[in-house]
Amino acid sequence: MSDGTALAGPDGALRCPWALSTEDYVAYHDEEWGRPVHGDDALYERLCLEAFQSGLSWITILRRREGFRKAFAGFRIAEVATFTDTDKERLLADPGIIRNRAKIEATVANARALAEWTEGELDELIWSHAPDPATRPVPRTLADVPAVTDESTALSKALKKRGIRFVGPTTAYALMQACGLVDDHLEACVARSAP
């Protein structure tokens, strides 16, 4: 059993322990998690997937990501904003995604809200909440990684104020981790501050 410190993966490299349970996690951890993501559609996708993950394991979402992309028009905000009640019923019947009515409704409602924003505004808002890396201690164990921060609470409030749903402080922090606003790879992890 891990004490929360980095562990050797199949290739011998040290990684965050959560990343070692499946090959899908290893690839996601090494190639995506904690890497900067920019662009409104790309950030909208991550925001939606983090909301769908709420109450579930991330691997459930990760393994259905292509199904989500297909079901939600590649997470192109302008297209999802035009989804009708018929589209929502189609999504509720789609076995390739998580069929949760509240999360589907929020995904469409969020696209409609974001379609009213100017291009680049979502990117700017999210990244304006990135903390100064110099002020953040480098986590040595999983116990050093928070679930919520002042910045994620502020981001959640800013998004909600602008009409975005299903984005509490914990979901906002998961978004910040996934999109590289913070680097929560453990100190000994091979992916720590990777380019």
Which residues are designated catalytic? 28, 50, 58
Distance between CA atoms of 195 and 191, rounded to whole angstroms?
A: 9
| Of 154, 189, 191, residue with least CA distance to 175 | 154
Distance between CA atoms of 50 and 179, rounded to whole angstroms?
A: 11
Distance between CA atoms of 68 and 71, rounded to whole angstroms?
A: 5
67-71, long-range: CB < 8 A, 24+ apart: 67/94, 67/95, 67/96, 67/97, 68/96, 68/97, 69/45, 70/96, 71/96, 71/97
Distance between CA atoms of 14 and 61, rounded to whole angstroms?
A: 25
Q: How many CB atoms lie within 10 A of CB 161?
A: 8
